[in-house]
Amino acid sequence: MKYALVTGGSRGLGRAICCKLAKMGIPVLINYQSNQQAAEEVRDAIQSEGGSAALIQFNVANKDEVMAALNQWEQEHPDDYIAYLVNNAGIRRDNVMFMMPEEDWNAVIDTSLNGFFYVTRQLLPKMMMRKHGGRIINMTSLSGLKGMAGQTNYCAAKAALIGATRALAQEAAVRNVTVNAVAPGFIETDMTKDLPQEELKQLVPMKRFGKPEEVASLVAFLCSDEASYITGEVISINGGLY
């Protein structure tokens, strides 16, 4: 059986992506670091609609936790594999660079970029060994494409993820593994609730923030058979804001 793993799957975009993939009939592993209650709510919502979901706890930025959790899952599911990986986990620690503490720089890079590396490196060999390959979707950001003042750490992490996506897509294509990135603009999530939304909406041609479900639909398409010839792409979903 082919499973999906969504890192940072307990809230916001991660929650919407988990629910959407489950509706496609894919068993979903909901990764979370500390908020077990939120993760359980996502699992229960999926199961109440007839989908299949389970929790898997680890900090994506901690190599040992990643390896331990995924190795244990693989041992418990010898005939299954994670064919769909959505690297969604990310954090913000906004500040102008000259005032940015080193720990804030490292925390953002560790979660978005090193987290991608640790999780993907663990799962990629299994995808490449299987006949049907796999799908890897990396959640980057408008910030990684255009840069945003006060987000040097976040922009650096997301821009690096774009480069990694394009390189890995070339490495994995021969094994039928596609690697793409999704770059949302302003989306209504916990990560954007502290932003001046009414002011920022005026910058968006559509004059609104996007919905998590809209992003989840794009991710679901990239996981589908219809997207089997798309790889190495960075797809923006931003209401026209570039």
154 counts as catalytic: yes
User: Radius of gyration (Cα) for the chain, nearest Å?
Assistant: 17
For 57, phi and psi rounded to 5 degrees? Answer: -100, 125
Q: How many residues does the chain have?
A: 242
Among the options 32, 81, 84, 154, which is catalytic? 154
User: Residue 44, SS3?
Assistant: helix
Q: Residues 83, 216: contact at Cβ < 8 Å? A: no
- Sign for the CA dihedral angle at 19, 57, 36, 101 comes to negative
E strand segments, the chain: 2-6, 28-32, 53-57, 81-87, 134-139, 177-184, 234-237
Closest CA to 192 of 236, 148, 222: 148
Q: b/e for 31-53, b at 16 or more Cβ within 10 A?
A: bbbeeeebbeebbeebeeeebeb
- Sign for the CA dihedral angle at 155, 159, 160, 165 comes to positive
Active site residues: 154
